[in-house]
Each structure stands twice: as C-alpha cells, then as structure tokens.
Structure 1
Amino acid sequence: MSGIASASSPQETLRGFGRRARHLVTSSPSRFAIIIFASLILLFTGLLSLPLSSAEGTVTPLSDALFTAMSTICVTGLSTVDMASHWSPFGNVLLFIGVNIGGMGVLTLASVMGMVISKRLGLRAKLLAAGDTNPMRAHGGPVNESQTVRLGEVGQLLTTVALSTLVIELSVALMLYPALVWAGIDPFAALWEAPYYAAMSFTNTGFTPNAGGVTVFADDYLVLTILMISMFLGSIGFPVIYTLAKHVWHVKRWSLHSKLTLITTGLLFVLGAAVFLLLEFDNPATFGSMDAGETTMNAFFLSAMTRSGGFNVIEMSDLNGSSMLVACMLMFVGGGSASTAGGIKVTTLAVLAIAVWSEAKGRQSVEVYGRRIPSDVQRVALSVVAWGATVVALSTVIIAQLTKADIIDVLFDVISAFGTVGLSSGLTAELPDSASYVLAATIFMGRVGTVTLAAAVAATSRSQLYSLPVERPIVG
C-alpha cells in the first residue's frame, strides 16, 4: 500500500498544482498576468545571458541581460548595450520573438495563458479581458445586459489581437522591403531588417538592427512615413482596431473609447509637431540646419515617436530644455488603452479633460458625444495619473541621487521608461548597475500598468452596504 501511495503522490502533486493554478487564473487574473510577465522576463534574461546570444560569444552581464529582457518583453526600447553590435543572430531572433509576445499586452497574454491552463475563462477573467479588449466594454459603467452577452466574444477578440498583429506586421514588412532596398540597403539584409523594423514599429519598441538606426533614413520620407503608420496602428489599441475593422465607414457606430482615442491621438500628434517646430526652428543642432520640408517632416516624426514609438532621427540630447520637457509630457501620456504603447493612455487624458470642462461649465455629470462617463471611470483616470506621477517622481529622485546626472536627462529617461517609449538622452547607456535596476523596475510598472498592479495587490473587493455622513473639505 505504501508503494501505491508513494507512486500516486507525484500525480496528486500535479493535480494539486493544477487546481491552484486554475484558482489563481479565475480568482485573480491581474495577479496571474503579473506572474506571467515576470516569468517571461526571467526566461528571456536567462536566454539573453547565454554566450550564444552575444556577438562575441561571451556571457552578457546580468544587469544588461535583465534590462534588455525587461525592455524587450515590456516593448520599451531602452538599452544599456549597443543593440546593433552586441547581439548575435540568435540574440536578435530572441528580441524579435520577445517584442511580439510583449506587444500582445499583459492582460491579453494572461487571458490566453489562462485559457490554456484552466481550459476556460472564469466570469471574473472574462470581465477583465472584456475590460481591456472588448470595445463594447468601453461604453463604461457597470456591465449591463448587452455587455454581458458580449462576453462570449472574448475568445474571438483574443484571436483578433493575434491575427491583427500578424497581418499588420506582415503588411508593414512587405511595404518596408522595397523602401529599404531603394534606400540602399542590401536586398539580402533587407529580408531581415524589414520584418524587424515592422515588429519594432508596430509594437512601439524602437530597437534597430543596423548601426546608426533610423538616422540613416533621415532623408527618406517613405521609410519614415511607413514607420509612423505602423507605430500609429500599434498605439491606438486593439479595441480601436477591432471597431474600425467592423465599422470603418460608420462613425456613429464607433464606441466612445474609439472616438476619444482617435481624436486625442490626432490632436496630440498635430499639436506636438507644432510645438516642436516653434521651439526648435532656430536650434542649429536640430531643425535650424534643415529646410522647410525636412523641418516639417522631422517635427511630425518626433511628435509621433515621443508618444511611444522610440525611433529617433535627431539626438534627444540636442533638443532645447523646453523641447525635452514637452517630449516628457507626450511620453507620459503615451498611446491608447490595450495597445502596444505605454503611458497613462490618451483616453485617461481625455476623460480628465472632459471632466475639468464639465466642472467649469457647471454640469452635474461628465458627458461627451451623447454619452455619460460614469464616476468610477473618472476615479480610475485620477488614480492612474496619481500612481504614474508617483512612480516617475520616486524613480527620478533615486536615479538622480545614484548618478548625480542632470535632472532633465534623468527625468527624460525615467518618463521614457515608464511610458515604454525607448527614447534616451544618452543617460541609460551610462547607468551603473544599481540605477539600471531601478529603471528596469520603472519599465515594469509602466508596462504592466498601475491599475493592474493595484488589482493584483487587492486580494478581495468588499462591498459596503452603508453610507457614511457627508462632510466637504476645502479643496483648492
């Protein structure tokens, strides 16, 4: 009997592990998402540390491997090593795979892995997946009957995420290949660089496979335009892509989330370019030495890439201090929700702006485009900004103390890390190991998302069946 019991114990252990995993998936999908992302980062850290991954066949130091893995899985684009020369072909393939995995998003990835382990998505996991990927959920508020019916589409939406990633990257690569060849890239080398650039632009990462990066295409408007379009598609988010695919010519049927995302993204793109033109037109290190056409193109490219793209034609350290501050603002906002971009998200900014406008007009509720934005969405928006600002402030203070570097350079790289942008003032490549770990943690916080982290920390949600007396503190 003892032999039978001992023989069955490994099976019981596996079954017990399976039960615990299913409970984790269905009861706390946010926490499960963080575990999955952290596990992927550790896995890629180990793989990138291998001698096979480096061009010189040596072991990559832990700090560099961990930072690169964090930047890859979190589709950030910052690096402590020279990406064009440090990694071997095997290492570059790892980076290519890693950004595509990370680009699918933390919640989407968690939902897919949850389906593999639990064979089904529990109701809470479905609600969470719907909240991040279902455009119907963007109508806001408690889940009503129409949204509950739509929960059955979660599997379809997750499939849409994977297929849209594949189709868009393939299309961008097919457009980039002839453009790269016309730009003077060897046709054989372009076979690798085209899909690499397609993946890095759509996922808003910003790694480049060639020495000099995008600066070699500074005068090639075709390549720059394709990269901007790919970055834009990645930054608007999968809910918007899903809505446009179904109702591209029927604007009235677009969800409020899609309208706010596209309008805010367009406004920031144009306003950002205009501000950069105004601030840099007489700077000889940037736009001052260019003609009108080059200046306009580079202003729009800079505006697009500071939103999360990560590619740069001009050196960030050459910008005026005022322009770097504007770039910090754009990076902090980032792109759309459930997208490959980071930041606090454009819909967060839109909701807060609409709330401020409604308060100034004396309205009792926050309304836009014939829809009322519920108070819980406004509270989430405030929480995201508050937590994001806290993370940026703490990281900036710690790294400034560790490096004694110029505060604008530290702030720029910290916000770039939090917003998973990938632009750098040049500081990141010179960071000591201690500061690189802090910046890596900032990347993780920015990519996983403050709301997801908060949901993971909260073990349970308690409902309060009573209301306390009202008292108004003095505000402002």
Structure 2
Amino acid sequence: MTLLSRRPGSFGGVVLSRFQRPGQVIVGGFAAVIAIGTALLALPIATTEGEPAGTLPALLTATSAVCVTGLITVDTDPHWSVFGEVVILLLIQVGGLGIMTLATLFALLVSGRLGLRARLLAQAETKTLHGADLRRVIRRIVVFSLVSETVLAVVLSLRFALGYAEPPGRAIWLGVFHSVSSFNNAGFTLWTDGMVRFVADPWVVLPVAFAVILGGLGFPVVFELLSNWRRPRTWSVLTRITVGVSAALLVGGTLLFTVVEWQNPRTLGPLPDHVKFMAGFFTAVMPRSGGLNVIDISAMRHESWLATDILMFIGGGSAGTAGGIKVTTFGLLAFVMWAELRGEDRVNVGHRRVAGPVQRQALTIALLGVGIVAAGTFTLLAMVPHSLDRVLFEVVSAFATVGLSTGITPQLPPPGQLLIIVLMFIGRVGPLTVFSALALRERTRRYELPEERPIVG
C-alpha cells in the first residue's frame, strides 16, 4: 500500500497519492489471516480427540471467526480443544480490530481527507509521521476495544463464578471468550444451545446485548456520542442516521419478535412475561450482526424468519464490527426516497445536504447486496433439498456476517459449505472493498452530455 510519493515541482516534493488498489490489500490481508487460522485449526492439537479436524471444517471455522460471523459446522466447545478455542478467539480479535481499523481509516480518508491529507503532508515532510491522525486513531480503536471487552469479561466472569458455580479458571475463560465474541459481533459461544440457558438472566443477557450494540455502532459514532451526546444538533450525518435508524430498528424488532413469538410454545411461550420482553429485545439486537441467541432460531415462526432476514441484511453501523449493507446505507436511501416523493432535488439530513456521489454509493452497495444474496440463494437451492425460507435465512446470515442459523449449515454438502465460506468472505471484505473503490476513485467529468429523462416505473 503506497501512501506517499514524490513528484518534481510539487509542494515540498511530497504529495499524498491515493491508495494503490486498496481492495487487493484488504482481500490479501484477510485471506492471509484465514489461511493461517485454517492451518492452525487443522492441527491434531486443535481438537479434543487429538485427530485432525479436516480442511473444510477448519477453513469454515477460521473464515467464520476472522469474518466475525459465527456460522459453524461443528460445535465449538465439544469439538475444539483449548488450543483450538484460543486460536478461534485470536482470529475473532484480529478480524474485529482489523475491520474497525480499516473501515475507520477509510472513513477518515473519505469524509475528512482534505484535513487529514494536509496533516500527513506536513508531518511526512518533517519526518514526524508518529504524531499523525492515523496512529492516534488506531490507538484509540485498540484501547476502546480492549477496555470494552475487559469490562464485559469481568461482569460475565463474576456472574458465571457466583451465579453458576463455575470454577474460577473456567469462569474467567467463559467471560473472556464471550466478551470478545460479543463486542466483535462474532456469534461464537462455548455452549451447544447458544445462550438459551441464560434467557432469564439479565446479568448475562443485557451486558452481552449492550456489547453487541456498542461494537456494531461503529468507532466514529461511538466517540462522537461520547463527546457530544448532549448536543444532538451538532451530530454529523453519519451519527444522526446511525443512531436514528438503529433505534428504530431495535424498537421495532423488539415489538415484532415479542408479539409474533409471544405464544409460540417452542420459543417465548413458556417464559414469564417480563422474560419474554427481555428475550424479544435480545433477539432484535442479534440480527444486527451479533449472531447469538437465547431462543431456538429454528423454532421461530416464518414471520420472524423474514423479519430477521431484513434486519440481518440491513446490519449495523459503518466502521464497526457489524455486517450487512449498514444502517447508513439504508437510512440514506430512505432519505433519498423521501426527497423524491416530496419532489425535492436535494437530499437533506438535519442541517446538512448529502452529496450526490454518496447517494450513488449507497444505491450501488444496496443493489450489490441484493444481487449477491439472490445469486447465493439460487445456487444453494440447487444443491440442497431445504425450503426457500431456510436457505434464504442461511445465505443472508452468511453475507451479513451474522451467524444466526436455522440449523442447516452443518447439513450442507461440501459445495454448499464452500458457498457459505465465499459468502462470509464477500460479506465482510466486499463492502470495504467496494466502499474504498467507489469513494477513493472519484473522477470529475470535464464535459456534460445532453440530458434525457427516460420513463421510470
């Protein structure tokens, strides 16, 4: 990756060139980490039985961990040894930090690149790059992530030790593993039934849900809220849309899941009323990319599956650990539609006008997502005997890097599992690649063609 290059006659002899094919850097980096993780998980020491796990299970698990998804074909705790679980945990951490760092840096380069470039130019000229925003941003991301994970790990470890009589070492390991998995929206658990056993425990359910929300909001939004939470009128468009759309989806999802599953004897039906609301809230949070569950996903009603598909596809905030097309994309398109319905030729959010290129980028990412999900669903349907709703659920979960499942992923044939691997990789790496390619390669046309208005609709 080349950031700086020298040209004769330029100011100071240094100019900031654009990233050299950033998509290749992103794809190559994630692929390399997945390859290393696959090799480690394929070792005999990585399984409890001391036998090699096989290339395909190791590859799918490594991809799911690095892409912070959570779809698996073998149960984590019974199958993988302590060594294997540590490898999975490290892959989740590397994947989560890598995603937040890359996404935030690209956001800086796009939204504020003039100021950032100027500072980089000046500091590169004086060889003081150590003080640049890039280093400060990366440090804040790492510190913010580790502190958040540590706080949650302490809460969960104490709960597992005091409330469930887990031995201290086991309680700490459970707390650390599920803290990292929750904050990074990875969807991995060390229990075969997910987190169903904790459905009535607010000391586990609520902290985990909050960590998923925090990690999925996105680093820029979280820090803007921390510094300006009392002055919402000063929030950026990114924060306004992320907070507004996230809150609406969370409230709407909670009400929908609670109402639809209220009398379902296989999900919320047997639970006390107050637990039903908490479980409905948790179930509404997890499609945003959390991937954890306190009720049996395979037993949910078809209406809930469809609602989950929609929430998974939308995903969470930009520059965070969540997947999907992102709430920013969804929110921008909603404002575009509203402006068009009102006959306005400008799209405004709060006291800011949204640039035309950003609107086109949002439309491109959304339509690419629809196309990938449609192609993946069509291909997987041709391989398996499962119904459309189950296949669509699995494909959206993989593409949106969520990890929720109706239970058919372990039953897929090898070609189907390879398709899931490809979808997870595209879903995690693809949006970053597309975003960087669209935003960092803007071209200004030096002429205008005659305008024509074709019939639309």
| Cα distance in 2 between the residues matched to 1:413 and 1:150 | 45
The one-letter amino acid of 1:132's match is A
Deviation, 1:138, is 4.7
How many residues align? The count is 430
> Any stretches of 5+ residues in structure 2 without a counterpart?
1-15, 121-131
8 A Cα contact 1:31 1:456, kept in partner: no
1:370 aligns with 2:356: no
Residue deviations 1:98-146 (CA, integer Å, cap 9, x gap): 101100234725xxxxxxxxxxxxxxxxxx8643357xx558xxx5x55
Among candidates 157, 161, 172, match of residue 137 of structure 2:
157
1:252-267 matches, within 5 Å, as 252-267=233-248
| Cα distance in 2 between the residues matched to 1:181 and 1:240 | 34
Judging changes above 3 Å, is the alpha-carbon distance between structure 1 residues 235 and 107 closer, same or farther for their aligned structure 2 residues?
closer
Deviation, 1:53, is 0.8
Residue deviations 1:191-233 (CA, integer Å, cap 9, x gap): 1000111000000011112343311212211110010011111
Select between 430-439 and 145-154 the one with higher mean Cα deviation: 145-154
Judging changes above 3 Å, is the alpha-carbon distance between structure 1 residues 94 and 411 closer, same or farther for their aligned structure 2 residues?
same
Q: TM-score, normalized by length of structure 2?
A: 0.89
Residue deviations 1:355-378 (CA, integer Å, cap 9, x gap): 111111111200011000111111
The one-letter amino acid of 2:292's match is F
Residue deviations 1:222-265 (CA, integer Å, cap 9, x gap): 11001001111100011112223333434343322112111111
The one-letter amino acid of 1:183's match is G
| Residue matched to 2:250 | 269
Among candidates 283, 286, 302, match of residue 283 of structure 2:
302
State the secondary structure of the residue aligned to 2:90: helix
8 A Cα contact 1:99 1:203, kept in partner: yes
| Residue matched to 1:84 | 77
Q: 1 or 2, which has the higher helix percentage?
A: 1
| Cα distance in 2 between the residues matched to 1:46 and 1:279 | 44
Among candidates 212, 223, 242, match of residue 231 of structure 1:
212
8 A Cα contact 1:105 1:340, kept in partner: no
What is the Cα-based RMSD across aligned positions, in Å?
2.3
Deviation, 1:279, is 1.6
> Any stretches of 5+ residues in structure 1 without a counterpart?
1-22, 110-127
| Residue matched to 1:3 | none
Judging changes above 3 Å, is the alpha-carbon distance between structure 1 residues 70 and 185 closer, same or farther for their aligned structure 2 residues?
farther
State the secondary structure of the residue aligned to 1:309: coil
Judging changes above 3 Å, is the alpha-carbon distance between structure 1 residues 133 and 281 closer, same or farther for their aligned structure 2 residues?
farther
1:285-434 matches, within 5 Å, as 285-434=266-415
| Residue matched to 1:193 | 174
Give the share of equivalent positions with the same residue, in percent.
37
Judging changes above 3 Å, is the alpha-carbon distance between structure 1 residues 364 and 26 closer, same or farther for their aligned structure 2 residues?
closer
| Residue matched to 2:87 | 94
| Residue matched to 1:470 | 451
Among candidates 51, 56, 61, match of residue 44 of structure 2:
51
8 A Cα contact 1:237 1:338, kept in partner: yes
State the secondary structure of the residue aligned to 1:381: helix
Among candidates 152, 164, 171, match of residue 151 of structure 2:
171
Deviation, 1:148, is 4.6
The one-letter amino acid of 1:423's match is L
Deviation, 1:291, is 2.4
Deviation, 1:48, is 0.7
| Residue matched to 1:62 | 55
